[in-house]
Structure 1
Amino acid sequence: MQTQFNIHEAKSSLSRLIEQVEAGGEVVIARAGKPVVRLVPIGEAPRRRVLGLLKGRFTLPDEHAPPLPGTPDDFIDAIQGR
C-alpha cells in the first residue's frame, strides 16, 4: 500500500508513517504535490567482512615465477599449453 503525504504532514506524523512502512506499506513524501522521497524499509544490514578469512587456502607464487605473457593471445596459448 502506497500513501502520499506532503512534507508538512509527514513531519507532523513521522512516527505513524514509520509504523506504516514497518507494517509493509510504502510512503511517498511530496513537495507541492510532486513526489520527491519514498520511505521504504531497509533490508538486513550487510555482513561484516572478516579479515584473514582465506588465510592458508592458497599460496602466492614465489618471486621467481615466470612473467605473464605480453599479449592476450600469448596468455591464452600459455594457459592451453601451446
Structure 2
Amino acid sequence: MIRLNIHEAKTHLSRYLKRLEQGETILLCKRNVPIAEIRPLSKQRERPRPVGLAKGDFKLPPEFFDPLPEDLLDAFEGKRN
C-alpha cells in the first residue's frame, strides 16, 4: 500500500498510476491522517456475459405474476394506514 499526503498525490499522481495498474492501493492522507483509498478497478470483461445461464434451473410459480396486495403497494409508495 502506498501512503501519500494530498500535496504529493496532486503533484505526482502520474508516477503512481503504473503501480495502481499492477494492483497496489494508495492510501490518501491529510496531514498524515488517512482520509481515502484509491484502488485499481477490476479488469473489464473481454466478451459480454452470456444471457440465460440459469435457464431451466428454477421455475416461477404462476402466483408470481398476480397483482400485489393493496397494503404492500401502499407500503412501496410510502402511504400509511
Task: State the TM-score, normalized to the length of structure 1.
Answer: 0.50
Task: Give 3-state SS (helix, strand or coil) of 1:17's partner.
Answer: helix
* Greater helix content: 2
> Number of paired residues?
57
Residue in 1 aligned with 2:33? 34
* Structure 1: runs of 5+ lacking an equivalent: 55-66, 71-82
* Structure 2: runs of 5+ lacking an equivalent: 53-65, 70-81
Task: State the TM-score, normalized to the length of structure 2.
Answer: 0.51
Distance across 1 between alignment mates of 2:44 and 2:22: 19
The higher radius of gyration belongs to: 1
Regions of 4+ moved over 6 Å: none
Distance across 2 between alignment mates of 1:15 and 1:8: 13
Quick one: which amino acid aligns to residue 21 of structure 2?
A: E
Q: 1:24 to 1:45 in 2, by over 3 A?
A: closer
Residue in 1 aligned with 2:5? 6
Identity of aligned residues (%): 27
Q: Pairwise CA RMSD of aligned residues?
A: 3.2
